[in-house]
Amino acid sequence: MSDLKRYEKIKDAFFKKIEHKEEKLYLDNKNLNLIKNSIPNFISDDLDNLTNKMSEFYDEVRFPNYDDCEDYASLYDKGIKNLFTKRIDQELSYGTNTLELGCGTGQLSLFLARGNRNIFSVDISNGSLILGEKFRIENDIKNVYFMKMDVFDLKFKKNYFDFTISNGVLHHTKDARKAFNSLVEVTKPGGLIVIGLYHKYGRFFTKVKQKLARLLGKNIFFLDQTSLKIKSKDKRNAWVTDQFLNPHETLHLPSQTMQWFKEEGVEFVNLIPHSDDISKPLFQTREEPKLSFINEFLMLFNMNQIQEGGFFVIIGRKNKY
């Protein structure tokens, strides 16, 4: 199937705004700007300075790379070894319309390609998208669609996606709150939204290492336990650069994020690591936790939380009314 026909198949997911009217964006030879002849570029105007800086940063970093993924079988094995991604794969329905915002090199999107899901993988980094598209072509995966798009100008129809995920991305944008709103708009009522953010308190040790990295550069890996476990030099350099030399990040608290949910009409489902119970399905609604300062601080005593740079994931379901 030609690239053009692939995108013609899913053109109804898109719209563009012309004089405040919504018009379908038909992907033909006249208006389809392609990167490397296969990846649609929907960024028509210049990016703001910060977004452009982040785009250039990840063009160089290309995190994560495919050193440990020779084919789809090895990528899938990697995915099921991670409990979080394994459970997403197990619980997402057949044929789900999925958006991954900030897909990077696309490994999660490609992992979730089973089950005839339609997966739209959006990023602002040409280099990262090219890596993901190369793997997609080599492994003949037809239902993952890589594209360059700005979170603040998403070209999708409103209320379109069954499942929207942005894991470790919003805190690298100029306005995480506004970016979250963009995700809610394109998620259908009853659809699931998953976001992963840096924890304000859990990022303390990483912040110290970031200051040291200004002096040590990539040699900061000698002081980082996670980096020392990475065997591939290229993958280690990508991790170190992403964690300690990143030009922009913001820090957040689960209580703040839950307030975003309330303001945008998103029902709380799960908070990891705080309220997740491994015996329950990932998307089964939990009782909303009471997040005092003490409770949010106690999240940090989960050692994985500290080693991974103070990361938390919150899951919600967009209200139907």
Residue with tokens 């942005």: 166
User: Any bridge partners for residue 277, and if so which?
Assistant: none
Of the candidates 84, 120, 116, the one whose C-alpha atom is nearest the C-alpha of residue 103 is 120
Who wins on pLDDT, 272 or 28? Answer: 272
Which pLDDT band, with edges at 50, 70 and 90, does 63 fall under?
A: confident
Number of CB atoms found within 10 A of residue 27's CB: 21
Q: What is the pLDDT of residue 236?
A: 84
| Alpha-carbon span 53 to 262, nearest angstrom | 32
Domains of the chain are 3-197+250-285+311-318 (3.40.50.150), 205-243 (no CATH)
Which pLDDT band, with edges at 50, 70 and 90, does 141 fall under?
A: very high
Q: What is the pLDDT of residue 148?
A: 93
Q: What is the pLDDT of residue 224?
A: 82
| Alpha-carbon span 142 to 25, nearest angstrom | 21
- Whether the pTM exceeds 0.85: the reply is yes
Who wins on pLDDT, 219 or 196? Answer: 196
Flag whether pLDDT at 277 surpasses 80.
no
Contacts of 72 (CB under 8 A, 6+ apart): 110, 139, 141
Q: In the structure encoding, which two tokens stand for residue 209, read together?
A: 């290492």
Q: What is the pLDDT of residue 17?
A: 65
Flag whether pLDDT at 140 surpasses 70.
yes
Flag whether pLDDT at 21 surpasses 80.
no
Least confident interval from 28-42, 143-157, 174-188, 190-204 = 28-42
Q: In the structure encoding, which two tokens stand for residue 210, read together?
A: 């970031």
Q: What is the pLDDT of residue 218?
A: 87
Q: In the structure encoding, which two tokens stand for residue 290, read together?
A: 């009471």
For 168-235, where are the E strands, in sequence order? Answer: 187-198
- The stretch 98-104 carries a mean pLDDT of 96
Cβ–Cβ under 8 Å, residues 180 and 260: yes
Cβ–Cβ under 8 Å, residues 112 and 88: yes
- What does the mean pLDDT of the chain come to? 86
Q: What is the pLDDT of residue 110?
A: 97
- The stretch 190-213 carries a mean pLDDT of 89
Cβ–Cβ under 8 Å, residues 258 and 314: yes
Residue 240, amino acid: V
Q: What is the pLDDT of residue 202?
A: 81
Number of CB atoms found within 10 A of residue 170's CB: 26
Could you tell me the maximum CA-CA distance found in the chain, to the nearest angstrom?
57
Q: What is the pLDDT of residue 72?
A: 93
* CA 73 to mean position of chain CA atoms: 22
Q: DSSP characters for 119-131?
A: EEEEES-HHHHHH
